């Protein structure tokens, strides 16, 4: 029964401070028995996508590179799986929002590039990120088969399904989502409810655990709503962090119960795959 830890943290403007802070949190989580440890989206920086500013491209890292190598050493030292999310410089003028997975022996299992890129007031991500080209992936770690998707991906059932069809038993969503002040009073509760509900739905439909790691605190005009959580395969939230506090949130994942659940709720068996061909259409007129 692996224990997972979600690192819901505030962020500094300086990447090195965030890297050191996150390493300390990883060490603390490991000391509390966590075997899979997950960061929030873009953990090395504040959420810089509130504006379009070319100087922010200087925040990007080459992946794999020194940052992932440091996680490899840390994972091997502590015997834990690390799932982290950062800003990747693939080439000059080509950048991705990318997550990587390090196994408990320190091996680099690979990375996933965010597929769905939003463009909204306060979330100017299309300016910074090229849509991912890795495909949906599942990583076979020492403590379970993990699928990683990132933030805006969490609204798309196709992404969850395809990752589960790759064999993922745990879907992990590093996230940066919050309220804008002009919307919170009227829509804040509904927005948060939709965010949690759709991901719990993915857990039910795919018979898997879903893990969402959000940041907390206010950056600029955005109040990140925290509330990182873990859902079981029934869509029940079994662990949840507060709104406005840092938290190392842990939960124990019963993989034997998940196996039994998939035997009696055989969604994958009963899929009528021959009827789904139009799912690749943009819209069906």
Which residues are identified as catalytic?
41, 114, 151
Cis status of the peptide bond prior to 264, with omega within 30 of 0: no
User: Distance between CA 141 and CA 81 in Å, rounded?
Assistant: 7
User: Distance between CA 56 and CA 87 in Å, rounded?
Assistant: 10
User: Distance between CA 103 and CA 86 in Å, rounded?
Assistant: 17
Calculate Rg over the CA atoms of the chain.
18
User: Distance between CA 210 and CA 160 in Å, rounded?
Assistant: 10
What does DSSP say about strands 209-213 and 178-179: parallel, antiparallel, or unpaired?
A: unpaired
Retrieve residue 271's tokens.
């899929």
Residue length of the chain: 285
Q: How many CB atoms lie within 10 A of CB 134?
A: 15
User: Distance between CA 128 and CA 51 in Å, rounded?
Assistant: 10
User: Distance between CA 43 and CA 225 in Å, rounded?
Assistant: 16
**Helix orientation angle between 181-206 and 157-165, rounded to the nearest 10 degrees:** 30
What beta strand segments (E) does the chain contain? 3-8, 36-38, 81-91, 94-102, 108-113, 138-141, 144-148, 170-174, 178-179, 209-213, 216-219, 222-225, 229-231, 237-240, 247-252
């Amino acid at each position: 029964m692996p224990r997972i830890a979600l690192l819901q943290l505030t962020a500094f403007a300086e990447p090195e401070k965030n890297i050191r802070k996150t390493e300390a949190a990883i060490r603390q989580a490991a000391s509390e028995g966590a075997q899979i440890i997950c960061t929030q989206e873009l953990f090395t920086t504040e959420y810089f996508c509130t504006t379009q500013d070319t100087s922010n491209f200087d925040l990007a890292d080459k992946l794999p590179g020194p940052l992932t190598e440091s996680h490899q050493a840390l994972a091997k030292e502590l015997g834990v799986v690390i799932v982290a999310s950062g800003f990747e410089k693939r080439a000059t003028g080509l950048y991705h929002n990318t997550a990587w997975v390090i196994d408990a022996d320190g091996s680099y299992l690979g990375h996933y590039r965010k597929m769905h890129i939003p463009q909204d007031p306060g979330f100017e991500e299309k300016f910074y990120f090229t849509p991912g080209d890795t495909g949906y992936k599942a990583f076979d770690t020492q403590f379970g088969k993990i699928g990683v998707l990132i933030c805006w991906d969490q609204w798309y059932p196709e992404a969850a399904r395809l990752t589960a069809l790759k064999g993922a038993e745990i879907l992990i969503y590093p996230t940066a989502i919050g309220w804008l002040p002009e919307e919170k009073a009227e829509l804040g509760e509904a927005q948060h409810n939709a965010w949690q509900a759709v991901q719990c739905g993915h857990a039910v439909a795919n018979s898997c655990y879903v893990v969402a790691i959000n940041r907390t605190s206010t950056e600029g005009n955005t109040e990140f709503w925290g509330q990182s959580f873990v859902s079981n395969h029934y869509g029940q939230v079994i662990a949840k962090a507060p709104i406005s506090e840092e938290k190392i949130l842990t939960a124990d994942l019963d993989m034997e119960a998940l196996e039994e659940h998939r035997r009696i709720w055989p969604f994958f068996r009963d899929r009528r795959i021959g009827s789904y061909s139009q799912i690749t259409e943009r819209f069906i007129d």
